[in-house]
Amino acid sequence: MVNITSAEFVTSGTRPEHYPPGDLLEIAFVGRSNVGKSSLINVLVNRKSLVRTSSTPGRTQLINFFRVNGSLMLVDLPGYGFARVPPEVKRQWGPMVETYLAGRSCLACVVLIVDVRRTPAEEDRLMLQWLRAYDIPVLVVITKCDKVSKNERAKQASLISRTLGLAPDEMAFFSALSREGRDAIWARIEAIMAEGHSPSEDGAPE
């Protein structure tokens, strides 16, 4: 997927009846509001603004599906943890996101995004615990690395891995500004998809 031949918005919605058919494997992106989920997807697909980004937290309030190279779906989930999101939106967030994550059988991997400058929040820890309980493969992307020095990054990486209990191969560094980490993240995603992909699900005739 390092070479992108096509990337297009498919649909958006809040409930399973809005989802696309589920014949392609899906990679979902979760994290705090404003952490850079949509920006990461844009860099992964080499597009400036396929996914709307914003400096106003809470921009993404629906589950958005993007098809890549006709063969894989990237799923942008609404962010959590922003205080100024209207109470009504907050109430809907849990059921909307949990229903997707718990029930989507074509979900191959969740990319959990955290800010290199912050200690992971309680919500990040709960999300990770919850994904592990459901046996969903997770890659933690530490983003906005352009905002800190190499020293600071190393310090924060050890704090983040300790707080979340991560093995080194469960983490990747990223910057949407410099695009650092893009190819490595694709490589990790592809490795995770390959691990979970049994030949019987292949559908290829012998």
Name which of Mg ion, ligand GTP, none residue 144 binds, using a CB cut-off of 5 to 8 Å depending on partner kind.
Answer: ligand GTP
Cβ atoms 76, 63 nearer than 8 A: yes
**The length of the chain, given as a count of residues:** 206
Which one of 14, 42, 60, 64 is in contact with Mg ion (CB under 5 A)? 60
Question: What gap in Å lies between CA 160 and CA 188, rounded to an integer?
Answer: 19
- HSE (side-chain half, CA atoms, 13 Å) at 1: 27
CA atoms within 13 A on the CB side of 31: 28
The C-alpha torsion from 194 through 48 and 168 to 73, rounded to 10°, is -30
Distance in angstroms (rounded) separating the CA atoms of residues 18 and 166: 34
Nearer to ligand GTP, 4 or 89 (CB): 89
- φ and ψ of 175, to 5 deg: -140, 125
193's tokens: 């998809």
**What minimum distance in Å lies between the beta carbon of 206 and ligand GTP?**
43
Is residue 64 a contact residue for ligand GTP (CB under 6 A)?
no
Task: Out of 6, 11, 54, 69, name the contact with ligand GTP by CB under 6 A.
Answer: 54
Nearest to 112 by CA among 29, 35, 25: 29
Strands 72-76 and 63-68 come out as antiparallel
For ligand GTP, the binding residues in 94-133 under the rule CB under 6 A are: none
Examine residue 170 and tell whether it contacts ligand GTP (CB under 6 A): no
Piece of 36-44, 65-73, 160-168, 176-184 that binds Mg ion (CB under 5 A): 36-44
Q: Which of 30, 35, 72, 142 binds ligand GTP (CB under 6 A)?
A: 35
The residue among 58 and 137 lying less far from ligand GTP, judged by its C-beta, is: 58
**Interaction of residue 36 with ligand GTP, rule CB under 6 A:** yes
Choices 64-72, 154-162, 169-177, 195-203 (CB under 6 A): range interacting with ligand GTP: 169-177
Decide: is 59 part of the binding site for ligand GTP (CB under 6 A): yes
144 lies in the binding site for ligand GTP (CB under 6 A): yes
Strands 138-143 and 72-76: unpaired
Binding residues for ligand GTP, rule: CB under 6 A, are: 31, 33-39, 53-55, 57-60, 79, 143-144, 146-147, 175-177
Binding residues for Mg ion, rule: CB under 5 A, are: 37-38, 59-60
